[in-house]
């Protein structure tokens, strides 16, 4: 008998929760309980925004056709504050970050997973807005969210939501990137201006305003990256320059290749407003996160062809040759400054930009 009493008891409390949720239009704890309320949250919000045959099945996982003998798996969690900023939001960078991690490994995205951790009291209207942004970014990247998970935590973080995305991709065997393939004389390219994402977020956080507003560069790069493969460019190494910025990627490159990276400061594409914000806030533009920029290392004889291909894509319009790999130990990242001097670029320590993605 206890059970019967219990279930009706728990039901009545739940009804209160449901009523409250629909009255206030906010997330309640019961939305994460795996019951009736969670079904409604999934149906009325997640599926409404992201619905597709695989996701709609609401099975424990998604079954995907795999055209290749090798696949790529990647994951990223996103804790950016604020959740929405000029040029994007947490949903957009979640999709772009995961698609880009797959693409720089040579992976053609097959499907994404979406893990939502929602804070009690989070407005459902805001959830819808962010899910719509997930959808549009996924459409841009030509991929679907095929499986997901939703949890709810008590009020207290003030964060509102955290997102984890994982992605699986079919490996394009034409693309063979690795630190061990980098050679002396290889050319370093970036597909556009540096620091836009990090400075867009930090400007909002610090209430900075500029005549030309700073906009995040969050974008999926898969199309541009596979265009390089289609053009027969043998990219030796590529990586998107997110947390830690270009300095972080270059630190890995020299550490793992044993070669020195020589960068020309005068060649680094940086928007004036981003440079101004960075100097105002005391950041080195090289260590600021990007969400739509990658470093490409290509053989010298293919550099021009690679630049052509990058610039043909709207994600690479401002692509630039920024330097080259050369010998000389110890292997360092050396920046030739505009003033003719030079300095060693250190690996960022990590204090620079908390909660940037």
Asked if the peptide bond before residue 82 counts as cis, ω within 30 degrees of 0, the response is: yes
CB of 301 to a copy of itself, least distance (A): 26
Counting residues that bind a copy of itself (by CB under 8 A) gives 107
Element (H, E) at 154: none
| Pick 283 or 303: Cβ nearer a copy of itself | 283
Which stretch, 8-16, 129-137, 212-220, 315-323, contacts a copy of itself (CB under 8 A)? 8-16
Q: Confirm or reject binding of residue 76 to a copy of itself (CB under 8 A).
A: yes
| Pick 311 or 344: Cβ nearer a copy of itself | 344
> Which residues 249-268 are close enough to bind a copy of itself by CB under 8 A?
252
CB of 245 to a copy of itself, least distance (A): 8
Is residue 133 a contact partner of residue 220, using CB atoms and an 8 Å limit? no
CB of 40 to a copy of itself, least distance (A): 9
> Which residues 287-316 are close enough to bind a copy of itself by CB under 8 A?
287, 289
* Candidate residues 68, 129, 140, 234; the one interacting with a copy of itself per rule CB under 8 A: 68
Rounded to the nearest 5 degrees, what angle is found at the Cα of 172, between the Cα atoms of 168 and 177? 95
CB of 98 to a copy of itself, least distance (A): 9
CB of 315 to a copy of itself, least distance (A): 17
> Which residues 170-229 are close enough to bind a copy of itself by CB under 8 A?
171
What does the block give as tokens for 13?
């409390």
CB of 269 to a copy of itself, least distance (A): 15
Question: How deeply is 233 buried, as exposed, middle or buried, from its count of CB atoms within 10 A (0-12, 13-18, 19+)?
Answer: buried
Q: What is the rounded CA–CA span in Å between residue 76 and residue 95?
A: 9
Element (H, E) at 299: none
Is residue 181 a contact partner of residue 86, using CB atoms and an 8 Å limit? no
Q: What is the rounded CA–CA span in Å between residue 249 and residue 238?
A: 9
């Amino acid at each position: 008998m206890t059970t019967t009493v219990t279930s009706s008891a728990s039901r009545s409390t739940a009804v209160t929760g449901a009523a409250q949720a629909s009255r206030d239009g906010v997330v309640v704890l019961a939305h994460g309980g795996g019951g009736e309320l969670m079904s409604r949250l999934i149906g009325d919000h997640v599926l409404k925004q992201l619905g597709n045959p695989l996701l709609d099945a609401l099975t424990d996982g998604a079954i995907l056709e795999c055209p290749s003998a090798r696949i790529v798996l990647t994951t990223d969690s996103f804790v950016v504050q604020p959740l929405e900023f000029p040029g994007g939001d947490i949903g957009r960078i979640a999709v772009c970050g995961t698609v880009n991690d797959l693409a720089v490994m040579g992976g053609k995205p097959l499907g994404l997973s979406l893990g939502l951790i929602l804070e009690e009291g989070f407005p459902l209207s805001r959830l819808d807005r962010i899910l719509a942004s997930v959808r549009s970014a996924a459409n841009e990247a030509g991929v679907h969210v095929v499986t997901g998970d939703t949890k709810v935590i008590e009020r207290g973080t003030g964060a509102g939501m955290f997102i984890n995305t994982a992605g699986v991709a079919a490996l394009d065997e034409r693309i063979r990137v690795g630190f061990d393939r980098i050679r002396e004389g290889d050319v370093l390219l970036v597909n556009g201006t540096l620091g836009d994402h990090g400075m867009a977020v930090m400007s909002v956080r610090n209430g900075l305003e500029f005549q030309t507003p700073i906009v995040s560069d969050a974008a999926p790069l898969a199309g541009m990256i596979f265009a390089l493969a289609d053009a027969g460019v043998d990219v030796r190494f590529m990586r998107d320059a997110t947390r830690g910025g270009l300095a972080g990627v270059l630190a890995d490159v020299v550490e793992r290749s044993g070669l020195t990276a020589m960068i020309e400061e005068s060649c680094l594409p940086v928007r004036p407003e981003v440079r101004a914000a960075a100097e105002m806030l005391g950041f080195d533009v090289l260590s600021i996160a990007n969400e739509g920029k990658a470093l490409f290392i290509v053989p010298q004889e293919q550099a021009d062809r690679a630049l052509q291909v990058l610039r043909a894509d709207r994600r690479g319009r401002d692509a630039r040759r920024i330097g080259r790999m050369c010998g000389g130990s110890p292997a360092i990242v050396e920046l030739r400054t505009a003033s003719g001097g030079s300095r060693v670029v250190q690996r960022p320590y990590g204090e620079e930009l908390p909660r940037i993605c």
